[in-house]
Structure 1
């Protein structure tokens, strides 16, 4: 008996030890922290910090570097950011998402046979947002010049050793790349050979992009010489991109290849500074961007989950997984119908959606013995004192879903992939994240995206165009708030996060991965708050993913996008007992060896006056602290 008891203690200790083990170490720093999707890009952030820049400067440098390295995004994409300003002790939101161009109407796309705007090519493009967003953040909240901040990106554009991940992505997508002459010229460095893409480690040179970035720097330099202020000089470079010769070549190259973007579209677009949305979860204020992103879905899910004792359920028990899945489904059903660009009518009922009372009502319909395959949008309007004007539309919409067993990978993606894991890799590699913090108190969380490989490059600018148009809908029965319209922003999946506790930064966190982003960020946050994990453990810990939602990306037919009820991605290490319980509840299970997603995060240790950095073990994400 004594032997058995000793064995039990040893096994418990081993389990505790393994639970604490991570494949990457925690990053520590007291002066600054820089984390992003590529090691070279994190190094760019470190270089800026070493020059005396603040977290905004470093974040802009990392953003520029990742765009230049085609980390599944480029300079023609979009930037979404949250910034904590230590001077005002407020969180601000940056909306640098492009707009639908002139001519981008429902009739235009339907006449071409689409149910959604296309995934790739010039017709998938909204106007570029990243150059303007970077200039705006740097001008208003940074300290260095554009020339200093772009220096690492300029060096990369002049030639850097391309990593296997991007090089192989180019090779896989070379048939599409060949459709666009400017993309072909840039990406296929060995035309006519068996492998036409660059080799891993090959010095990848982007002469046109280098010229474009150099023009912006030269414009800033000339403005400073003419006596302009630092801010005015940076915005002069901005104007050259959106109104000058760079804009003219961008538009020419776009339209030559069949795109719709005009000079007027570029000139009228501008980045917006907004008030973020927030909810309190057990005394912690969690901040997200407004409802032009999916970010409020995580806030809704937190409101719903606050009604349950998650800790007592146990991390990734069958009951915990089921509860998380149901809460996410409820939030995503609302996202799919009610979210859209708040600068266009109709006005989204965001106050009702984020009310605690509405969350209680939504929580009350969760069935704890089985998955509910017919969860649909709720009615948040009474929770802001209004009547729902879309009752008839919701009835017409119905909740028809394919409840047959299907692969977790959507049909349109699995055609080019051999496995669920390869699909997940493709999904998580789209977009990147940027996290930065400094000892003065500046904190930046960015989720940039757009212009990923296979990207259509606009003329001789070297700039890949966005593919974000596909996140619009063409049918108001899917969402009356997110129907495509010239000048409008699509509802995107991109969702940086900040959390404050006792009025001070607590967490800065973001992740790649389309519709999985707020699913993984929700669980990361709960891993820390409910289960006491440190920031690195929380980034690596096994998450679940639901596909019971309308996909925001990929496919131009309803069948490509519609929800797959009960589809659940679990980690390979999920115990058999948990698997069996979930199957009894009606779930169809798929498995992966790493299911956290590539989360990057910074935890603020106010007790010791230091930063803890976490960077998931999923991909190439990397951080440096000092």
Structure 2
């Protein structure tokens, strides 16, 4: 068991000790994370889950990315004078997908009753948990907003009107009450486990939770990152008609490994595209962390992310040429573009001779004279503090679990964080703002459209080796998730590192393309590298034309991973040391 919070890992292990399987443990840990990491996720946010069932031998993906409201059109935003989706507020709110997706995982793959997986989350919400330093920092930064505009957030996270200290006991009784009422209504509906899970879904999406969200958005104008107040577009009808999809993943063969990722409604396939490009490169002879290794991975990332920007979107709503993008011939063509020096202007490919197009971000708003809390609000990432000004900074959560049967599950929950929107009165949680990733420009696969899923960055991975369960992993980190996890995977697959060592290698990523989050910052040619790289490597990367942003060591990502050691008959777990927060445990 590994997750981005030691308490969530403890919750998952307790479920396994009580006879639950990996999926039960993940669900309990996921609901606990909604309480104990409010700066990074919540019930009103979203989650992407990848699950391998040993009994069926198949990998499935559960899409907890809710669609945009029916009222959310480009014309609607144009009528409000908005040219780029706001970072925060209620206008960019999509249907909350996290709650329903966790329930779907429990129903389809789990074994334990509803009350058992909710019990830890309810306990932490009602009795309290130690507030993380990152959460305390976020609350302190947003306190003026919480006191004057988002007053329900203030009532929830400013106990006694004061900014809480890191490590202090934080409670959220409203959220505990919400979860308890859902469980009560579910138990009153039926004694059957599956029927209770369905009743819990109904309570959230068609019952009192949906009604409360609908009433709040219809009757309240919320101050947002535009500097104005707006009512929301999300309605009870939008929630009532949504259910999480369970679907086949995208897959790529890489040597002895079969690698599985979510579809192009996420950025997940960009991991596979990078692997496809790199498979024809002799990475082992380059050496882990060498100049050629970092250069090659950075250039492969540029090519894959160029395709992400041009082609990815909701395949339910617009054609995405995924088969062509993952075809070996296409990967070889893209690989041939990697040269000795850094590419200055990497372009997307033309699968099937299609013409690519990447929209341009609107110029950033001036921060002159803007209060610090407003500057934070205009950044769509959950992070605050000095690192938040860098493109690529970000945070969310990860849960990865393996059990003795060989089941694997990994989830990346996010959204509905403290910075996204105000806490909904009576519910104890905020709505997610994943809609900010949509373009307010017609004709692109990621353009805003009613009922279309905004492209998410949440990107878990599952790997089988010669058909047997091998790894499940993920990381916080927005757009950078599929670079940091790729580096960890290659450390295992190509260089034979053990799982924990793979999470600790020096990390890097490109910042070349617009970030998915407002204000869509980009830094062409920049490679962000941790200071723990050999100085000679950094010097030679600059000679190859890379613009380096050298950040403190152990600051990029929190890779969490689990796996199966078939040689020795052990399960494995690892948690990256960055942030001194993630925790892995096995028994």
What TM-score, normalized to structure 1?
0.85
Question: Cα distance 1:622–1:423, how it changes in 2: closer, same or farther (>3 A)?
Answer: farther
Structure with higher Rg: it is 1
Q: Which residue of 2 aligns with 1:572?
A: 531
> Are the aligned partners of 1:106 and 1:474 in contact in 2 as well (CA < 8 Å)?
yes
* CA distance in structure 1 between the aligned counterparts of 2:301 and 2:507, rounded to whole angstroms: 13
SS at match of 1:270: coil
Q: Which runs of 5+ in 1 are unaligned?
A: 1-33, 382-386, 403-408
1:209 to 147, 150, 175: 175
Q: Which residue of 2 aligns with 1:174?
A: 143
Residue 165 of structure 1: how far off its partner (Å): 2.7
> Are the aligned partners of 2:392 and 2:479 in contact in 1 as well (CA < 8 Å)?
no
* CA distance in structure 1 between the aligned counterparts of 2:345 and 2:144, rounded to whole angstroms: 40
> Are the aligned partners of 2:87 and 2:380 in contact in 1 as well (CA < 8 Å)?
no
Question: Cα distance 1:577–1:400, how it changes in 2: closer, same or farther (>3 A)?
Answer: farther
Q: Is it true that 1:44 corresponds to 2:4 in the alignment? A: no
1:344 to 311, 317, 330: 317
Question: Cα distance 1:237–1:564, how it changes in 2: closer, same or farther (>3 A)?
Answer: same
1:364 to 323, 327, 336: 336
Q: How does 1:412-431 map to 2 (within 5 A)?
A: 419-420=386-387, 427-428=393-394, 430-431=395-396
Deviates more, 1:88-97 or 1:117-126: 117-126
Residue 71 of structure 1: how far off its partner (Å): 4.9
Question: Cα distance 1:275–1:462, how it changes in 2: closer, same or farther (>3 A)?
Answer: same
Q: Which residue of 2 aligns with 1:612?
A: 572
Q: Which residue of 1 aligns with 2:400?
A: 435
1:597 to 557, 560, 573: 557
Q: How does 1:50-61 map to 2 (within 5 A)?
A: 50-61=17-28
* CA distance in structure 2 between the aligned counterparts of 1:492 and 1:83, rounded to whole angstroms: 18
Question: Cα distance 1:414–1:66, how it changes in 2: closer, same or farther (>3 A)?
Answer: closer
SS at match of 1:459: coil
Q: Which residue of 2 aligns with 1:190?
A: 160
Residue 100 of structure 1: how far off its partner (Å): 0.6
Q: Which residue of 2 aligns with 1:464?
A: 430
> Are the aligned partners of 1:84 and 1:92 in contact in 2 as well (CA < 8 Å)?
yes
Q: Which residue of 2 aligns with 1:35?
A: 2
Deviates more, 1:251-260 or 1:512-521: 251-260
Q: Which residue of 2 aligns with 1:63?
A: 30
* CA distance in structure 1 between the aligned counterparts of 2:349 and 2:157, rounded to whole angstroms: 46
1:251 to 187, 196, 214: 214
Q: How does 1:391-540 map to 2 (within 5 A)?
A: 419-420=386-387, 427-428=393-394, 430-454=395-419, 455-476=421-442, 480-540=444-504
Question: Cα distance 1:400–1:131, how it changes in 2: closer, same or farther (>3 A)?
Answer: closer
SS at match of 1:625: coil
Residue 202 of structure 1: how far off its partner (Å): 2.9
Question: Cα distance 1:436–1:414, how it changes in 2: closer, same or farther (>3 A)?
Answer: closer
SS at match of 2:306: helix
Q: Which runs of 5+ in 2 are unaligned?
A: 222-230, 365-374
Q: Which residue of 1 aligns with 2:85?
A: 117
> Are the aligned partners of 1:293 and 1:340 in contact in 2 as well (CA < 8 Å)?
yes
SS at match of 1:252: helix
SS at match of 1:447: strand
> Are the aligned partners of 2:137 and 2:385 in contact in 1 as well (CA < 8 Å)?
no
Q: Is it true that 1:374 corresponds to 2:345 in the alignment? A: yes
Q: Which residue of 1 aligns with 2:585?
A: 624
* CA distance in structure 1 between the aligned counterparts of 2:402 and 2:101, rounded to whole angstroms: 19
Q: Which residue of 2 aligns with 1:141?
A: 109
Question: Cα distance 1:213–1:134, how it changes in 2: closer, same or farther (>3 A)?
Answer: same
Residue 203 of structure 1: how far off its partner (Å): 2.6
SS at match of 2:190: helix
1:236 to 165, 188, 199: 199
* CA distance in structure 2 between the aligned counterparts of 1:411 and 1:132, rounded to whole angstroms: 27
1:213-242 CA distances to partner (integer Å, 9 max, x unpaired)?
0111112211234xxx31112111110111
* CA distance in structure 2 between the aligned counterparts of 1:418 and 1:84, rounded to whole angstroms: 38
Q: Which residue of 1 aligns with 2:226?
A: none
* CA distance in structure 2 between the aligned counterparts of 1:514 and 1:221, rounded to whole angstroms: 37
**CA RMSD, aligned part only?**
2.4
Residue 170 of structure 1: how far off its partner (Å): 1.0
> Are the aligned partners of 1:38 and 1:71 in contact in 2 as well (CA < 8 Å)?
no
SS at match of 2:165: coil
SS at match of 2:159: coil
SS at match of 1:298: helix
Residue 399 of structure 1: how far off its partner (Å): 12
1:338-393 CA distances to partner (integer Å, 9 max, x unpaired)?
00011102x0101101111100000111121x211211110112xxxxx42x36x5
Q: Which residue of 1 aligns with 2:58?
A: 90
SS at match of 2:573: strand
Residues matched between the structures, number: 560
Q: Which residue of 2 aligns with 1:20?
A: none
SS at match of 1:614: strand
